[in-house]
């Protein structure tokens, strides 16, 4: 069964690259330009969230805290990506499963995703 990943990233180029990398690795990807549509969602939850921290309307940090408080999503792994390396501690405190600093390498993304999706099986 194909694992579904929701990627919320406001940088169109990075969103395109992540979608390409993950599709090539066999994942189903739902790309989103921001996090607000995640909040309005009521079903069809993914196996993993990848959130950029610096997005309009809601930060990845705030969105992660929201997802971890919600009964339906509290156990879904969240991976945060950010260009700010000093965000890692705050991200881990907010409940992320993993943190990836931009710029990232394809192998790094795939290893982190595989590790976090495997925990759900």
Report whether 26 contacts 53 (CB < 8 A).
no
Is the pLDDT score of 46 beyond 60? yes
CA-based angle 36:42:43, to the nearest 5? 120
Cα–Cα distance between 15 and 23 in angstroms, integer?
12
User: Residue 83: which CATH number?
Assistant: 3.40.50.2300
Total of domains in the chain = 1
Q: For the whole model, what pTM was predicted?
A: 0.94
The yes-or-no verdict on residue 56 having pLDDT over 90 is no
Q: Phi-psi category of 30—alpha, beta or left, where left has phi over 0 and alpha has psi -120 to 50? A: beta
Those residues whose C-beta lies under 8 Å from the C-beta of residue 14, and which sit 6 or more positions away, are 52, 81, 102
Domain span at residue 55 reads 4-118
| pLDDT band, residue 120 (cuts 50/70/90) | low
Residue 43, pLDDT score? 81
């Amino acid at each position: 069964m194909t694992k579904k990943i929701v990627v919320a990233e406001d940088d169109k180029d990075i969103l395109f690259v992540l979608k390409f990398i993950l599709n090539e690795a066999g994942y189903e990807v739902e790309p989103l330009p921001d996090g607000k549509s995640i909040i309005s969602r009521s079903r069809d939850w993914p196996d993993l969230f990848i959130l950029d921290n610096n997005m309009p309307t809601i930060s990845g940090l705030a969105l992660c805290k929201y997802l971890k408080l919600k009964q339906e999503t509290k156990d879904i792994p969240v991976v945060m990506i950010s260009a700010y390396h000093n965000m890692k501690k705050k991200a881990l405190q907010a409940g992320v499963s993993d943190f990836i600093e931009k710029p990232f390498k394809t192998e790094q993304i795939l290893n982190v995703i595989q590790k976090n999706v495997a925990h759900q099986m």
